[in-house]
Amino acid sequence: MRFSPQDQNILEHLCRAGAAHPHLDTLFHFYEQLFQIQFAFKARLREDRHLGYLEEKDIDPERLASGIPQVSFDDLRMEASPWIDLYGDIAALLIRDTECLAPDNREPQPETILAQALEIFTSKVPLVGSGQPADVTRTASGLVLAPYLQLACEHLMPRITQSAWHRGHCPVCGGAPSFAVVHAEPDFRTLLCSRCNGEWRFRRMGCPFCMERDHQTYYPTESGDYRLYVCEACRRYLKSLDMQESDSERCLPVETLSTVSMDLAAREKGWLFF
Ligand SMILES: [Zn+2]
Ligand SMILES: [Zn+2]
């Protein structure tokens, strides 16, 4: 089973971040196990060319122009796949290593899992950490979606013309951003999709959730490396990495985990993740 270079890179950064933040040991340990499960499944999907047709599929310019993501839920073709084992592995991990409670009744039917995954896909919510109650079926259903969305993103995002998309949601899957990078030049931010790990450009100022341009504030962290952007219009916050004076290589899916203390501080003050 060979992980893609991107997935291997995420695991290496995760390992380094774990060493740099020993107090987050439990969190990093959980995500290392989760990513191993998801990346192994994605490698199988790739080998089976499950979403291989997306490699050939043209980027739809009308969707780009009207703000519609490139993939629909049906495009993921989740109906005839071995994802039920993936669900079982993820649910077992959640029950063992998190505060998610095991469901009272027996395992959910595949239709229930698919219905949950569809609801999550459509509502643009992040797959984890969106403040829902810790429900194993819902959380695991969302995490089953991730390998499909990530694979679709790997096929499509490199071919999307960044200047043709100015939206606050992901051009591939429609997900909300969970993290941003502020660059010095040119004058834009990079947003990270909370679901498919896609990265896209967004304007420097303004809220990607409600698109309000005014009533935006940010608070730099003590080290100055990060900023917490808050929008007084919709009450949401966005963690950001300030890379105006640095060009070191960063792995955004791992940065979102390393900065969990910013989430806690923001939520304590009543700001919303999504
Ligand atoms: Zn996405
Ligand atoms: Zn807003």
pLDDT digits (tens, 9 = 90+) for 52-90: 999 999 999 999 999 999 999 999 999 766 899 999 999
In the chain, what are the domains? 5-159 (no CATH), 162-268 (3.90.1670.10)
116-131 core/surface letters (b: 16 or more CB in 10 A; e: else) = bbbebbeebbbbbbbe
User: Closest ligand to 233 CA?
Assistant: 2
Determine contact, residues 168/207, Cβ cutoff 8 Å: yes
User: Closest ligand to 271 CA?
Assistant: 2
Give dist(CA 248, CA 13) in Å, integer: 13
CA–centroid distance, 45 to ligand 1, in Å, is 18
pTM of the complete model: 0.94
202-218 core/surface letters (b: 16 or more CB in 10 A; e: else) = beeebbbbeeeeeeeee
pLDDT digits (tens, 9 = 90+) for 244-271: 877 788 999 999 999 999 999 999 999 9
CA–centroid distance, 56 to ligand 2, in Å, is 36
CA–centroid distance, 178 to ligand 1, in Å, is 10
CA–centroid distance, 22 to ligand 1, in Å, is 30
| Average pLDDT in the chain | 92
| 3-class state of residue 160 by DSSP | coil
